[in-house]
Chain A
Amino acid sequence: ETGVTQTPRHLVMGMTNKKSLKCEQHLGHNAMYWYKQSAKKPLELMFVYNFKEQTENNSVPSRFSPECPNSSHLFLHLHTLQPEDSALYLCASSQDYRTGPGANVLTFGAGSRLTVL
Chain B
Amino acid sequence: DAKTTQPNSMESNEEEPVHLPCNHSTISGTDYIHWYRQLPSQGPEYVIHGLTSNVNNRMASLAIAEDRKSSTLILHRATLRDAAVYYCILRAPISNFGNEKLTFGTGTRLTIIP
Do A96 and B44 touch across chains, with their CB atoms under 8 A apart? no
Q: A42-B105, A104-B91, A110-B41 are in contact. Are A31 and B46 (CB under 8 A)?
A: no
| A76 CB–B CB distance under 8 Å | no
Determine how close the nearest CB of chain A comes to the CB of B16; give it in whole angstroms.
Answer: 28
On chain B, the residues within 8 Å of A106 by CB distance are 36, 44, 46, 100, 102
On chain B, the residues within 8 Å of A104 by CB distance are 32, 34, 49, 91, 100
Q: Which of A79-114 contact B (CB under 8 A)?
A: 90-92, 94, 96-99, 103-111
Distance between Cα atoms of A94 and B32 in the complex (Å)? 16
Do A55 and B91 touch across chains, with their CB atoms under 8 A apart? no
On chain A, the residues within 8 Å of B101 by CB distance are 45, 56
Q: A42-B104, A42-B106, A45-B103 are in contact. Are A103 and B98 (CB under 8 A)?
A: yes
Distance between Cα atoms of A90 and B87 in the complex (Å)? 16
Which A residue's beta carbon lies closest to that of B107? A42
| A43 CB–B CB distance under 8 Å | yes
Could you list which residues of chain A lie within 8 angstroms of chain B, going by C-beta atoms? 4, 31, 33, 35, 41-43, 45, 48, 50, 55-56, 90-92, 94, 96-99, 103-111
Can you list 28 residue pairs at the A/B interface with Cβ under 8 Å? A4-B43, A31-B99, A33-B99, A41-B106, A42-B105, A42-B106, A43-B44, A45-B102, A45-B103, A48-B97, A50-B97, A50-B98, A50-B99, A56-B99, A90-B44, A96-B98, A96-B99, A97-B94, A97-B98, A103-B98, A104-B32, A106-B100, A107-B45, A108-B42, A108-B44, A110-B41, A110-B42, A110-B43
